[in-house]
Structure 1
Amino acid sequence: MENTSFTIVQLNVEYKNKHNNINAVKNILAESAEIGDITLLPEMFSTGYIFDSAEEIHSLSEDFNNSVTINQLTQMAKTYETMFVAGIAEKDGSQYYNSVAVVDENGLRYKYRKISQNRIDKQYFSRGENILIFEHKGLKMGIAICFDIWFPELMRKYNDVDVILHPSNFGGHHSFAIAQARALESGQHILTCNRVGQDITKEFTATYCGESRVYNPKGEEVMRLNDTQSSQTIMISDLSLAPQYNGIKLPEEINEICRILT
């Protein structure tokens, strides 16, 4: 396996301003001493997440076959020789999704639609139906969006991947404890890219805490950002099996336990 580097961009998302959010990513990368093989952006990085009405976010959602945001990410991918994993609100016909686009210098490679739904997602979006696994530079990657990480039933579908890429919009810290638990129970790297800033609606103001983190397959925290807009790059080179599963074929054991309990 090649060593693979990941840049986490913890963006201060400007509410409903795609142009400024895309330019903010450009500026962060232009000022970065190092940019990884994969650049991870937050959930719905170009628009914000909570709105006064479904119509607001639907008007900002993009057809991925003709997307200004994806076109801009494609140009940045060419410039910096990176692959973006970015949360973008998607329009597909009459349906809308909280999605992640995987974009390289050739454009859109893959997409994932958030499967779990909290009360906010249910107001705006249809539910995704399929997980996404792809390979890049010798690593097998899986995608989870924010609340997805809370559901072991969903995350176990990724039991044979090396790295979970996790764009998020967290306001509190409980979800980091869940991400750490997922890393420990699965023996995988979990890379959570959170955001900072606020979404201000008539009902309430949502404030996002930042502190993006990386957990290794032992469940150890190996990187943490602060609570401001920032970025950091980490190299992943050690895919040795987590010690808690030494001598155990984890998928086989999970299947056997499920067989017994059903």
Structure 2
Amino acid sequence: MKEATASFRVAAAQTPEFREDVAGALAYLAQVMMQAQREGATLLCLPEGYLQGYLTEDEPARRHALDLGSARFGEILAALPDQAPTTVVGLIEVEDGVLYNTAVVIRGRSVEGRYRKRHLLPGERCFQAGEETPTFEAGGLRFGINICFDTNFPEAAVEVARQGASLLLCPANNMLRQPAATAWKDRHNAVRGARCRETGVWMMSSDVTGARGDRIAWGPTAILNPAGEVAAQLPLDAPGLLVFDLPGRDPAG
């Protein structure tokens, strides 16, 4: 009889927007990490630009940017739970005076690695595009990262799949003006699903929710299977934690 293939429990947080409120974002992050730990998750994903907010104007972005090797970022890591899943957090990074839209991979209060957004929107001129597409491992699960707009480019997902990853994380931040939010409400998963079908990988997205002025965020925070179908999704209008058992690859398959 053929043995059952192991599964990997993964989690994605749909969060409020924390804008220029690192202390508030950090406190919420610690709570979510502890919740994911209690749920038995191996991997946790937070939205794009989560820690400082999705800041695209140079002055506020530069004021809140973090050097991953700095004492300040070390203090942030030290404030996190000592027992937690491998956690992917979106933030604004600075290195040698250059700003990046980055997703940092945290394991055990230390930085395991980072992915810098490679495909930037016209409104993201304060950032420099990343040049590398690394993959990572959490409890035997190999995964890669595409940040939000990256998923519009097939080659971004192909590069992750080429390295043997079975899961693609999509930290996103779709706090959009009402007309755009309405137009895109049901289109994000269609775009992401196309990348799944092209590569044969699963995708897990994490987004913000709520409203700010004339802007509204509806996620989605969801899991898509390799056929591009939604396997699980949180309601669009409230924070929450999506937990899902991702099937492992069949070694004989």
Q: TM-score range by the shorter chain?
A: 0.7 to 0.9
The answer to whether the 8 A contact 2:193-2:227 is kept is: no
State the identity as a percent: 22
Aligned length: 235
Q: Deviations over 1:146-177 (max 9, x none)?
A: 00000012222123321101100124332221
Write the letter of the residue equivalent to 1:169.
N
Matched residue SS, 2:100: strand
1:225 pairs, out of 213, 234, 237, with 234
1:142 pairs, out of 144, 149, 173, with 144
TM-score by length of 2: 0.84
1:145–1:67 distance in 2 versus 1, CA, 3 Å: farther
Unaligned runs of 5+ in 1: 247-262
Separation (CA, whole Å) in 1 of partners of 2:212 and 2:67: 23
1:13-32 equivalence runs, <5 A:
13-30=17-34
Matched residue SS, 2:130: coil
Write the letter of the residue equivalent to 2:224.
Y
TM-superposed deviation, 1:25 = 2.1
Query: Aligned-pair RMSD on alpha carbons?
Result: 2.3
1:94–1:18 distance in 2 versus 1, CA, 3 Å: same
Instruction: Name the counterpart of 1:214.
Output: 223
Matched residue SS, 2:170: strand
Separation (CA, whole Å) in 2 of partners of 1:74 and 1:5: 25
Matched residue SS, 1:176: helix
1:69-80 equivalence runs, <5 A:
71-73=75-77, 75-76=79-80, 78-80=82-84
Instruction: Name the counterpart of 1:157.
Output: 159
Unaligned runs of 5+ in 2: 177-183
Instruction: Name the counterpart of 2:100.
Output: 97
Instruction: Name the counterpart of 2:133.
Output: 131
Matched residue SS, 1:98: strand
Instruction: Name the counterpart of 2:122.
Output: 119
TM-superposed deviation, 1:134 = 1.8
Q: Which moved more, 1:68-77 or 1:37-46?
A: 68-77
The answer to whether the 8 A contact 1:97-1:127 is kept is: yes
Instruction: Name the counterpart of 1:196.
Output: 209
Matched residue SS, 1:48: coil
The answer to whether the 8 A contact 2:102-2:114 is kept is: yes
Write the letter of the residue equivalent to 1:47.
Q
Instruction: Name the counterpart of 1:184.
Output: 197
